[in-house]
Structure 1
């Protein structure tokens, strides 16, 4: 869910305050949610989303799966649901319930992207990358250059990059697109309309933002758009996305119908 303005800032601050002791309590041997305020609510399932949301709303389904270096860095247990089982469970829901809904897949985990590419041919896949803005333990996720190489080699639709490198060097947008890939960006930087304009001039396909209205107004000149309080960069892909160059900028290897599907799905993520 994406919420702009002060209410968004308040909700993020409140959540951070409520969760700040979770790791501290764990290290001291307490149950993380046993003291003070804590968050307790059921997760909405993918099945519920398919059944309750209109088919006209497209889905950008981001698959989050832990990587070994992340587990070691955060001192987590190094086990998870087996990779094939995890992907197969999601694909079963998608093909049983997705019907005519426009969808795209995305993930920070290169192996998830590979399995999605091997197991299904019809739904486009985007590779999410920090683009070198934070240290990672997987060479495929270590830089924008490696992300381009990985996405091109495995015929993925495109790359969703942290916005910072694209703002510092806007020509990188064209580097991505000239590799035959869709280029999308995310992160706190995208809450500044001027920073988004730099990327738009280079032909970026879409930007992921916290406040769609503020950025649209900033791009179209309809009033002054104030930068919304931002989430950490790692959380930014869960914000809403808006296509900014939806016509004529598709990569040569991807049919126009696929690009339309991308834009339909991105529009859908900004609707709820």
Structure 2
């Protein structure tokens, strides 16, 4: 079967980030005029099945239910993971392997080796007369947990997301590939173009961002379409890969410059450890978004706003959108330099009012009363990131 045609539409008017030639470099890093984007991670947050925090088991991640729940809050985008089934259908699922139990034994299959019908047979079913296969998940340390959440939902396709999710919210489409496999360009191209076709046919003005951890995939997305911005995902070196392009923020900048990408999505601790990288990224004409569990803490999000980061991907959508609304001035509030500094003084959060907790590396971590004016290294040390 010949590959789908090259998609080369014109950029839409809602391009969510300024083009490189309009990159804003203020004299005072505390004064920003661009909006801080809040992006819901896998909808209303990822599932951590072994967590003692019920918020990470409240709603099925990467589901229509979770996407629409996130859209009820003032989020700009929802982020989700897209893979392509064996019969060419883009589906939304994070893990490369899908697990079930058969006769008391855990059986795992690669998502990309399943036909669509089999993929959708896992978990809750739309038809109440049908019983889906029990769904399990393997943790990084090898533990296996039954995928039980308070509000469960069926698995879904990318097309369903376009059809059933509130249209006002943008989509951050992460193209998911297996880190353990090496992909030929032809193979990548076929899968990517199957995703692009669904987006092209269904976006209808919805803001879209593409992203991927695989350098060749991100660059290929940019090559195959010119409609939407493409970001390169990186953990900034916290884990080392055979492909050196994945192992530092400096390499991430190079990937973007070589491929003409629009920005970087970096793990937040890599930025907090190296805040000077923010200016390097902006000078390169690139936008910067962060992800990671530290983004579930309002004070960490606030610090990133002061650093000039354009967006944050978060799990605790309600908590962070409320914090952003109450502590970060809106575009309407921002005016002259004097007005901006006055707003900043009025809205600086009183961090002693709340003690928030989240799970990091399997351990409960709580925020404490800190001063945002202190050196950023103190914040990293406080949250056990060193």
CA RMSD of aligned residues (A): 3.7
The counterpart of 2:247, out of the listed 119, 122, 142, is 142
Q: How has the CA–CA distance of structure 1 residues 171 and 196 changed in structure 2, closer, same or farther, with 3 Å as cutoff?
A: farther
Decide whether the 8 Å contact of 2:281 with 2:288 is kept in 1: yes
1:201 maps onto 2:306 in alignment: yes
Q: Which residue of 2 aligns with 1:130?
A: 235
Q: Secondary structure at the match of 1:126?
A: strand
The counterpart of 2:212, out of the listed 107, 112, 126, is 107
Q: Which residue of 1 aligns with 2:7?
A: none
CA distance in 2 between counterparts of 1:232 and 1:49 reads 31
Decide whether the 8 Å contact of 1:162 with 1:185 is kept in 2: yes
Q: Which residue of 1 aligns with 2:258?
A: 153
Deviation at 1:56, TM superposition (A): 1.7
Contiguous gaps of at least 5 residues in structure 2: 1-42, 47-51, 60-94, 109-133, 137-143, 328-348, 363-386
1:47 maps onto 2:183 in alignment: no
CA distance in 1 between counterparts of 2:145 and 2:263 reads 41
Contiguous gaps of at least 5 residues in structure 1: 13-18, 73-77, 234-272
Structure 1 length-normalised TM: 0.67
CA distance in 1 between counterparts of 2:285 and 2:317 reads 27
Q: Which residue of 2 aligns with 1:229?
A: 358
Deviation at 1:174, TM superposition (A): 1.4
Decide whether the 8 Å contact of 2:271 with 2:277 is kept in 1: yes
Structure 2 length-normalised TM: 0.48
Q: Secondary structure at the match of 2:288?
A: strand
CA distance in 2 between counterparts of 1:10 and 1:34 reads 14
Q: Which residue of 2 aligns with 1:8?
A: 55
Q: Secondary structure at the match of 2:107?
A: coil
Q: How has the CA–CA distance of structure 1 residues 147 and 225 changed in structure 2, closer, same or farther, with 3 Å as cutoff?
A: farther
Decide whether the 8 Å contact of 2:172 with 2:209 is kept in 1: yes
Q: Which residue of 2 aligns with 1:176?
A: 281
Deviation at 1:225, TM superposition (A): 5.1
Select the structure that is richer in strand.
2
Decide whether the 8 Å contact of 1:167 with 1:198 is kept in 2: no
Deviation at 1:89, TM superposition (A): 0.7
Decide whether the 8 Å contact of 2:297 with 2:320 is kept in 1: yes
User: Structure 2 matches for 1:31-110, cutoff 5 A?
Assistant: 31-32=107-108, 38-39=146-147, 42-67=154-179, 70-71=180-181, 82-110=187-215
Deviation at 1:175, TM superposition (A): 1.6
Deviation at 1:207, TM superposition (A): 1.3
Q: Which has the larger radius of gyration?
A: 2
Deviation at 1:198, TM superposition (A): 2.6
CA distance in 2 between counterparts of 1:193 and 1:162 reads 16
Decide whether the 8 Å contact of 2:45 with 2:314 is kept in 1: no
CA distance in 1 between counterparts of 2:290 and 2:146 reads 32
Select the structure that is richer in helix.
1
Q: How has the CA–CA distance of structure 1 residues 87 and 225 changed in structure 2, closer, same or farther, with 3 Å as cutoff?
A: farther
CA distance in 2 between counterparts of 1:212 and 1:218 reads 10
Deviation at 1:131, TM superposition (A): 0.4
Q: Secondary structure at the match of 1:127?
A: strand
CA distance in 1 between counterparts of 2:199 and 2:53 reads 35
Q: Which residue of 1 aligns with 2:22?
A: none
Decide whether the 8 Å contact of 2:211 with 2:231 is kept in 1: yes
CA distance in 1 between counterparts of 2:292 and 2:306 reads 18
